[in-house]
Structure 1
């Protein structure tokens, strides 16, 4: 590789990556201040833990959609992702998860690596659906076990205030599943109880959850007071920059997701989001009643947005790569160091994406 400003876990290095078998063998270079030269940046590839679709395709459409979504997001620097489902009838979820399980087991082709599944519902509060279809119901361990036999479910969004969900959170967390609090009308106390039971993050912080009030802190208050991890959509439409700053000061490992829909990477128009039809217009995606329904955000734009509101480039990168990897317990992704997967993005000095590498393979943009 040519010389770059390489972001490593210990700081910037001016040099080259040396690769072997899809991994970083060594970094040949010296510590540097990237402002002292005009070389491009080489950052860890972006890891998006909340992807519903892209390129006109929706995860819930099944096997034919998965490759399109993976190819779409890799064009914007996402080198690995979690395929995220919508709340749906059991029969439909069973079909989609079976197809996802088969897809994940296949060799990666020319798109982002699909690490597994984020099950966003159906174990949510029907009073806080947001853009989720109205198929929410009580979570039962037997049902979750059946789903997990079909596909590698890494993350489950759950409303902790629903009777019976705290024991489910405790059991699943002991098995290594990440439980995220979201689509919830829960109180501050119920949020804290969920964290104590083993929940570890919050789904699209601020959105589709009980808000912060000084006498009723709500789920947002529980997150700001106690969370180590939480995901947030930094499209500057779902969350005001001021609220992003509050979360950054409160939650040490706040990480960013797109919550992207089929409309990501596509022109304005109508698209599918699960069983809904949504409209992309004016940079957002909405239901007919105006409710925000996912986003059109891509991870390279998320990086630029974070820098725009004042984050240093190194920190912005960390919240798009290292922290989501840490959340999933992936020590070989989300950072550029010897032994890690060679997942990387190359950016020009204006932070425009000019190259992507997935597991050592350079991909056409």
Structure 2
């Protein structure tokens, strides 16, 4: 599939296909001046046709319904939006400085057009260094990079007993702590362990303010998960990983997600999560990403 992929990067089309078609719209599939021709993914499904653009903006999409498995034309997809980006190109968001630009450039080359720069559980000074750089990238996008929409704070407000790959700098969340970091860069998403004392109130207030709150790195019970969702949590961070598992008499945080969540992250690399677990999540959670 990557050899057939045409993607729209920041509203401007770029091509990563073996079929580097030039010329005009009579090409069976590919790009031409002012447009792209191929299998176009739309909100209504796949169509075979032409996507036209002018000055970086899509002006028209024309075509007919198609099953893309029945032809060899390129795929034309919207740019990906990634809500959980720690690094890329040998750099980590926690490096600060220009690292976020290196990361956003490498992700743009692979089809991500917008992203949330994601932090690690770290000392405050390290978090501030990272968020200062992310704030700058949010305000001043560089050519050829994915748009940095804001920050995903994955910690430090997690359970120290479920760190996973996170460093051991977990701490309790307060609204004042979150506000201090949000003043440096727009925090759009935050991962918390809801079972920590005081965190449910934080979840409610942040959710009411418009910030998305996800449940993750948690030793919480099924009941803790349900309560967090009732307090406004929007979903779960990397479902199945770094959270209490499902058992018949103790459904755990995984059970709360499968029974009640509308949204959840999942790492589908077949290393973090078994294929059967992925299929289970797909059947249970309407908006899995």
Q: Does the alignment reach a TM-score above 0.5? A: yes
Tell me, yes or no, if the aligned pair for 1:139 and 1:165 is still in contact at 8 Å. Answer: yes
What does the per-residue CA deviation read over 1:111-135, in whole Å, with 9 as the maximum and x for residues that have no partner? 2111111000000001111111111
Aligned to 1:221: 255
Residues 53-132 of structure 1: matches in 2 within 5 Å? 53-132=87-166
Aligned to 1:4: 38
Aligned to 1:184: 218
User: Could you tell which deviates more after superposition, 68-77 or 165-174?
Assistant: 68-77
Structure 1: state its 5+ residue gaps. Answer: 256-365
Report deviation, 1:96. 1.3
User: Could you tell which deviates more after superposition, 176-185 or 97-106?
Assistant: 97-106
Report deviation, 1:224. 0.3
Aligned to 1:14: 48
Aligned to 1:328: none
The yes-or-no answer on 1:210 pairing with 2:215 is no
Equivalents in 1 of 2:46, 2:209: separation in Å? Answer: 37
Residues 1-365 of structure 1: matches in 2 within 5 Å? 1-255=35-289
What does the per-residue CA deviation read over 1:202-250, in whole Å, with 9 as the maximum and x for residues that have no partner? 0000000001111111000000000000000111100000000000000
Equivalents in 2 of 1:68, 1:98: separation in Å? Answer: 16
Equivalents in 2 of 1:218, 1:8: separation in Å? Answer: 37
Tell me, yes or no, if the aligned pair for 1:87 and 1:136 is still in contact at 8 Å. Answer: yes
Tell me, yes or no, if the aligned pair for 2:141 and 2:147 is still in contact at 8 Å. Answer: no
Report deviation, 1:97. 0.8
Normalising to structure 2: TM-score of the pair?
Answer: 0.86
What does the per-residue CA deviation read over 1:50-88, in whole Å, with 9 as the maximum and x for residues that have no partner? 111011101000022111111111222222211100011
User: Could you tell which deviates more after superposition, 112-121 or 16-25?
Assistant: 16-25
Report deviation, 1:21. 4.1
Equivalents in 2 of 1:88, 1:202: separation in Å? Answer: 21
Equivalents in 1 of 2:55, 2:193: separation in Å? Answer: 42
Q: Secondary structure at the match of 1:35?
A: helix
| Greater relative contact order structure (CA < 8 Å, 6+ sep) | 1
State the number of aligned residues. 255
Normalising to structure 1: TM-score of the pair?
Answer: 0.68
Tell me, yes or no, if the aligned pair for 1:63 and 1:103 is still in contact at 8 Å. Answer: no
Task: Please tell me the root mean square deviation across aligned C-alpha atoms, in Å.
Answer: 1.2
Structure 2: state its 5+ residue gaps. Answer: 1-34
What does the per-residue CA deviation read over 1:12-58, in whole Å, with 9 as the maximum and x for residues that have no partner? 22112122443322102222232343211111222211111011101
* The structure with more radius of gyration: 2
What does the per-residue CA deviation read over 1:312-355, in whole Å, with 9 as the maximum and x for residues that have no partner? xxxxxxxxxxxxxxxxxxxxxxxxxxxxxxxxxxxxxxxxxxxx
Q: Secondary structure at the match of 2:250?
A: coil
Report deviation, 1:7. 0.8
